[in-house]
Homo-oligomer: A and B are copies of this chain.
Amino acid sequence: MSEGNARDSRAGKDTVRRHNLSLVLRTVHDAGEATRAGVAARVGLTRAAVSSLADQLLRDGFLTESGKAFSGQAGRPGTVLKVARTGPAGLGVEINVDYVSVCVVDLAGTGRVRLTEYVDNSAPAPGDVLARAARIAARAVASAQEQDLRPVGAALALPGLVSGGVVRQAPNLGWHRVDAEGLFAAALTDVRPDLRTLPVGSDNEANLAALAELWFGGMGGVRSFLYVSGEIGVGGALVVDGALLPGAHGFAGEIGHVVVDPAGPECRCGARGCLEQYAGQLALLRAAGIEEAAGPAAPGASVSGAGASGATAAGAVGAGPVGTGELERRVRAGDARAVAAVGEAGRVLGLVLSGAVNLFDPEAVVLGGVYRGLLPWLAPPADGELGGRAVSGMWAAGGDRLRAASPSADAARGAAGRVARDVLADPLAYGTAKRS
């Protein structure tokens, strides 16, 4: 189809229909379910136009219909349209320092498969890490296919600066200029030659976790927020009016490297005294007196922030899940050193957050990763700093603007969700949703 030539009226008509197919599909998606008349009323197209568009979407498998419902409009009751629960799906692959988590969502954004493996990704070469991630992804795809879901795209969530498909820098993985998309696609083709044409994208993990929070979390009407995730690194992302603020080079939100004390401990980024050195996972564990485990994690240990239904700990060697689980246990048990460590991290986090709030004036700050489970101990000292330092005075009222990330909204789900959103934005680009 010649989209480029707007003077070709045939192409123009095709473009309009293509746009309207997406409009109808997104309207049904956003409403959860809707009749043809309901869609027509919402989008301002005629009932006949919507019927024709809906029929094509049904035929191609993007929508399903069932039952009868009164539309609230004159005329006969319509059948109810829903987004298909089978067919096109999004594949999200988060590669973090101490785990790989893969998520498959359907077009409605519902998580349908989750596979998490706790493995150390900081020691092996990037190619080996991505090859293992591809094998994990292939296992998740097999699970998805048993549910009649067919991934139409993959997105990688990576703990570093990602731009143009390349990881420019991921200090905690030790990566520098790694073509993550290319290596992953090649490795996936090795294990699943039938997926060799699967488009692969990538983004920073905090960006994708923030989008997951926006799309699938409990943000309610909040459309502008700062997302901060405590992992081995401390990631962040800014959401403004329901969209990610990428920054001029795609690198916005790097709150982990905001300086706390210019004479502080050395950071893996090369500078001194970054937030990560005070409120990252390793700093927290060190301050709490928890030794990093050198051996495999206990089976069934769960990683904070992975939001993993169906997570498995297969041969994990990373310290993360053991250590942070132990930290949470000690804090809950009232261990004085652990409580003090988390309190101090909360105070420092609050200092940096107050600066970010003064610069960015969000409606809320969402804390994910290890911070989620520690929020009852982190929030009071952080709120104290925010209340005293956020000049707008919006933060003096109390702690409801500092909130925990949703357990089910993590970077892998955000990555998978982004693929699903791409399908909703242009279903025709994905041909027919039905299995060929």
Q: Determine the distance from Cα of A271 to Cα of B259 in the docked complex, in whole angstroms.
A: 18
The answer, among B246, B258, B269, for a CB contact under 8 Å with A359, is B258
Find out whether the CB atom of A252 lies under 8 angstroms from the CB atom of B355.
no
Find out whether the CB atom of B358 lies under 8 angstroms from the CB atom of A168.
no
| Those of A162-188 within 8 Å (CB) of chain B | 168-169
Query: Please, what's the 1-or-0 string for A301-325, where 1 marks a CB less than 8 Å from any CB in chain B?
Result: 0000000000000000000000000
Find out whether the CB atom of A359 lies under 8 angstroms from the CB atom of B224.
no
Q: Determine the distance from Cα of A362 to Cα of B354 in the docked complex, in whole angstroms.
A: 20
Q: Which residue of B lies closest to A360 (CB)?
A: B252
Q: Determine the distance from Cα of A393 to Cα of B354 in the docked complex, in whole angstroms.
A: 25
Query: Please, what's the 1-or-0 string for A229-240, where 1 marks a CB less than 8 Å from any CB in chain B?
Result: 000000010101
- A95 contacts the other chain (Cβ, under 8 Å)? no
Q: Which residues of B contact A240 (CB under 8 A)?
A: 245
- A262 contacts the other chain (Cβ, under 8 Å)? yes
Q: How far is the CB of A133 from chain B (nearest CB, A)?
A: 24
Q: Which residues of B contact A389 (CB under 8 A)?
A: 257, 259, 269, 271, 274
Central interface residue in A224, A247, A356, by most chain B CB within 10 Å: A247
Q: Determine the distance from Cα of A195 to Cα of B207 in the docked complex, in whole angstroms.
A: 50
Q: Determine the distance from Cα of A270 to Cα of B391 in the docked complex, in whole angstroms.
A: 9
Q: Determine the distance from Cα of A62 to Cα of B235 in the docked complex, in whole angstroms.
A: 51
Number of copies of this chain that the complex holds = 2
Q: How far is the CB of A345 from chain B (nearest CB, A)?
A: 14
Q: Determine the distance from Cα of A362 to Cα of B247 in the docked complex, in whole angstroms.
A: 6
Find out whether the CB atom of A168 lies under 8 angstroms from the CB atom of B393.
yes
Find out whether the CB atom of B257 lies under 8 angstroms from the CB atom of A391.
yes
Find out whether the CB atom of A248 lies under 8 angstroms from the CB atom of B270.
no
Find out whether the CB atom of B257 lies under 8 angstroms from the CB atom of A361.
no
Q: How far is the CB of A319 from chain B (nearest CB, A)?
A: 24
- A199 contacts the other chain (Cβ, under 8 Å)? no
Q: Determine the distance from Cα of A424 to Cα of B149 in the docked complex, in whole angstroms.
A: 52
Find out whether the CB atom of B254 lies under 8 angstroms from the CB atom of A161.
no
Q: Which residues of B contact A361 (CB under 8 A)?
A: 246-254
Chain A residues with a Cβ under 8 A of chain B: 161, 168-169, 224, 236, 238, 240, 245-255, 257-259, 262, 269-271, 274, 351-352, 354-356, 358-363, 385, 388-389, 391-394
- Interface CB pairs A-B, < 8 A, 18: A161-B392, A168-B393, A246-B361, A249-B394, A250-B361, A251-B361, A251-B392, A252-B359, A252-B361, A253-B359, A253-B361, A254-B361, A257-B391, A259-B354, A259-B355, A259-B389, A269-B391, A359-B359
6 interchain residue pairs of minimum CB distance: A247-B361, A258-B355, A252-B361, A254-B358, A251-B392, A248-B363
* A249-B394, A262-B351 given; 18 more Cβ-contact pairs under 8 Å: A168-B393, A224-B247, A224-B248, A238-B360, A247-B360, A247-B392, A251-B361, A252-B360, A253-B359, A257-B389, A258-B358, A258-B359, A259-B351, A352-B355, A355-B355, A359-B359, A359-B360, A360-B360
